[in-house]
Amino acid sequence: MEEFINVEEKAISVAEAIITRHSVREFSQKAIEQSVWDELLNLSKRAPSWKNSQPWKLRILQGKSKNKMAESLVNAAKAGPPSPENPWPENYPADAKRRMFDLGMKIYGVAGIDRKDKAARDQFMLNNFKFFDAPAAIFITTTFDLNFYVGIDIGCFLQTILLSARALGLGTCPQAALGAFPDVVRKELELQPEEKVICGLSIGYPKEESQLNRYHTPREPLENMVQFYN
């Protein structure tokens, strides 16, 4: 299985996982069973990477360690601005800014937050650092020098986790926010200084009957992003 994969069998659940995956921001308190973790992680590690370099490490928090980390991250977020390993991008093309604005409007809308209510928006933002009350949080770290290609590898890995999780009935929210305070994460988990905290995700079974989870983001029509050349 490790060395040989039969690609003649159709992977019929992939399309369904892609179509039905979306960011989940309300979770049930049901813990993730160890057998489900094992399956999720064994699937996820099949992600491709540059020359099979596999630049990722996963730090998985549940229970007390997750709650303690949430407390430290919330305190850090209240105390000052983020200091991620690489500066977060600031300049976006106008059409991307429109999509990002639209996302904010829609999410605040379903969360019942008035967009002009900055205190409520800030409070909502802090939910990121509480892992949206998910039963588990995953931090993705690397000891590799950060560059564009390591970023692509980790992106492939992240998406493989998200889709595998969906196939197993789990919900996820990928979060750049979890890379906002790498020093805090390193301190809490007693990591070596060379282990960089890139991003993370909240993971668990989605809360049923959640308005927030019901919102699905739109995508641009193909003609805005694809050009065939014959």
Ligand X SMILES: Cc1cc2nc3c(=O)[nH]c(=O)nc-3n(C[C@H](O)[C@H](O)[C@H](O)COP(=O)(O)O)c2cc1C
Q: Which residues bind ligand X (CB under 6 A)?
A: 22-23, 103, 128, 173-177, 199, 217
Backbone conformation region of residue 133, classed left if phi is above 0, alpha if psi is from -120 to 50, else beta: left
Using the minimum distance from each CB to ligand X, give the nearer residue, 110 or 176: 176
Q: Check: CB of residue 85 under 8 Å from CB of residue 146.
A: yes
Using the minimum distance from each CB to ligand X, give the nearer residue, 35 or 206: 206
DSSP conformation class of 225? T
CB of 2 to ligand X, least distance (A): 28
Tell me which residue of 147, 152, 150, 142 sits closest to 198, measured CA to CA. 142
The residue assigned the tokens 């020359």 is 51
Which residue(s) pair with 171 in the sheet?
A: 204
Using the minimum distance from each CB to ligand X, give the nearer residue, 23 or 141: 23
Tell me which residue of 70, 171, 69 sits closest to 130, measured CA to CA. 70
Q: Alpha-carbon distance 45 to 79, whole Å?
A: 36
CB of 44 to ligand X, least distance (A): 15
Using the minimum distance from each CB to ligand X, give the nearer residue, 129 or 144: 129
Using the minimum distance from each CB to ligand X, give the nearer residue, 7 or 225: 225
Q: Alpha-carbon distance 3 to 96, whole Å?
A: 41
Quote the tokens at residue 200.
Answer: 């993370």
Using the minimum distance from each CB to ligand X, give the nearer residue, 38 or 92: 92
CB of 202 to ligand X, least distance (A): 9
CB of 222 to ligand X, least distance (A): 17
CB of 228 to ligand X, least distance (A): 25
Q: Alpha-carbon distance 173 to 119, whole Å?
A: 23
CB of 133 to ligand X, least distance (A): 13
First and final C-alpha spacing in the chain: 39
